[in-house]
A = this chain, B = another copy of it.
Amino acid sequence: MMPATLYLVPNTLDLGLTTAASADLREVLPLGVIQIAARLQYWVAENAKATRAFLKRVDAVVPLAQPLQAVHIVELPRPVKGAAAVADTAPALHALLAPAANGHDIGLISDAGLPAVADPGAALVWAAHAAGLPVLPLPGPSSLLLALAASGLHGQSFAFVGYLPVDATARSARIRELEVLSRRAGQTQLMIETPYRNAALLGALVTTLDASTRLSVSCGLTVPQGWTRSDTVAAWRTRPATMPADVPAVFSLLAR
């Protein structure tokens, strides 16, 4: 019997936007990926409801191989804080891979972008390798790399550092730390924030960073009205920007 495969299926980047349900998947996903998604019957998902919405959009382009009601969707265990938690959830993860023992391919999908990148799922992928399952990542939009490409900052060396602290003092300290790191290593630093804190993060970056540091913001990547602005911090101070509170953004900095 051919071993079953764990497919890493990319989702769109328009989660929660009102235009999402009507936007054609072919704008942002390869047809080959949509075809694979249409035939998978077993899914592990960050969120089952978002996955059903995704599969309805798939069905509008390539009819599902079985009715949506017959598609099995189980959710990933809720993330537990701290890396040690990965080991604790191993038995639960193996259960999620059980359909593969019966020869069924499995799709792993998150709410937006690539699964297991800035999103849950990495522990399941590790468990799949440990179980000897082939893991096949399918190409699709990644807000981090689209933002990096659009930033015009250094793309030969970069780091994604996730979320910054919410507390203002700790956040400023972390921003200064990242600026030093960026200058020393010549490394672009990328970060994200919950949309309703976009404005607070941008304000903190513009206030805290050196005037000569380059700062880029990409907002609403791949969606209409999306934009990227890249400028020195000095220029951001002269011409402030208004950040939407309901659209995901990626922030990048490069210190000189």
Decide: A126 near B227, CB < 8 A? Known: A29-B30, A152-B135, A222-B139: no
Residues of B within 8 A of A159 (CB): 157-160, 187
Q: Within A125-143, which residues are at the interface with B (CB < 8 Å)?
A: 125-129, 134-137, 139-142
Interface membership of A118, Cβ < 8 A:
yes
Stretch in contact with the other chain, from A37-45, A96-104, A168-176, A228-236: A228-236
Please report the C-alpha to C-alpha distance between residue A231 and residue B115 in the assembled complex, in whole angstroms: 19
Check if A162 sits within 8 Å of B152, measured CB to CB.
Answer: no
Interface membership of A91, Cβ < 8 A:
no
Give a binary string over A208-242; 1 marks a CB under 8 Å from any B CB, 0 the rest.
Answer: 00000010001001100011111100000000000
Q: Within A104-123, which residues are at the interface with B (CB < 8 Å)?
A: 114-119, 121-123
Residue of B nearest to A230 (CB): B129
Within the oligomer, what is the number of copies of this chain?
2
Stretch in contact with the other chain, from A20-28, A64-72, A197-205: A20-28
Check if A137 sits within 8 Å of B228, measured CB to CB.
Answer: yes
Decide: A114 near B145, CB < 8 A? Known: A135-B150, A158-B160: yes
Interface centre among A135, A145, A147 (most CB of B within 10 A): A145
Residues of A in contact (CB 8 Å), total: 65
Please report the C-alpha to C-alpha distance between residue A148 and residue B190 in the assembled complex, in whole angstroms: 16
Distance (whole angstroms) from the CB of A139 to the closest CB of chain B? 3
Instruction: From the candidates B8, B32, B141, B227, name the one contacting A134 in the complex (CB within 8 A).
Output: B227
Residues of B within 8 A of A221 (CB): 137
Check if B145 sits within 8 Å of A83, measured CB to CB.
Answer: no
Q: Can you show 11 pairs from A to B with CB atoms below 8 A apart? A: A8-B150, A116-B155, A123-B152, A125-B151, A125-B152, A129-B231, A137-B149, A137-B221, A142-B142, A157-B159, A158-B160
**Which residues on A are within 8 Å of B, measured CB to CB?**
8, 13, 24, 26-32, 83, 114-119, 121-129, 134-137, 139-142, 144-162, 186-187, 214, 218, 221-222, 226-231
